[in-house]
Structure 1
């Protein structure tokens, strides 16, 4: 279904806030190498690695 659910509780506030603030650098969006603004993105990176490392277990399919 392509959905991810999280609990909106006190323990997850950092995760939620960092995902809300996650941004791409607009100057690089039209290039062959778009860049993320690397500020307060630790939980975003951790979640990305969790998904990549468990792609098969989670039944994920990436648009490659």
Structure 2
């Protein structure tokens, strides 16, 4: 379910995500209530850093 979620991705699936209700942005890494998305392998260092931060934070309020 991506409806209402802020996300990024490779440009090739942007339209699919928007059609599914996502708020798509062209950024290196995007976090929405623990969901971490990025665009391409070039973004892996930022993605990995953010994943570690999110794991350290634990479960977000309202999500399980």
TM-score of the aligned structures, taking structure 2 as reference length: 0.34
The structure where strand makes up a greater share of residues is 2
The structure where helix makes up a greater share of residues is 1
Q: Which has the larger radius of gyration?
A: 1
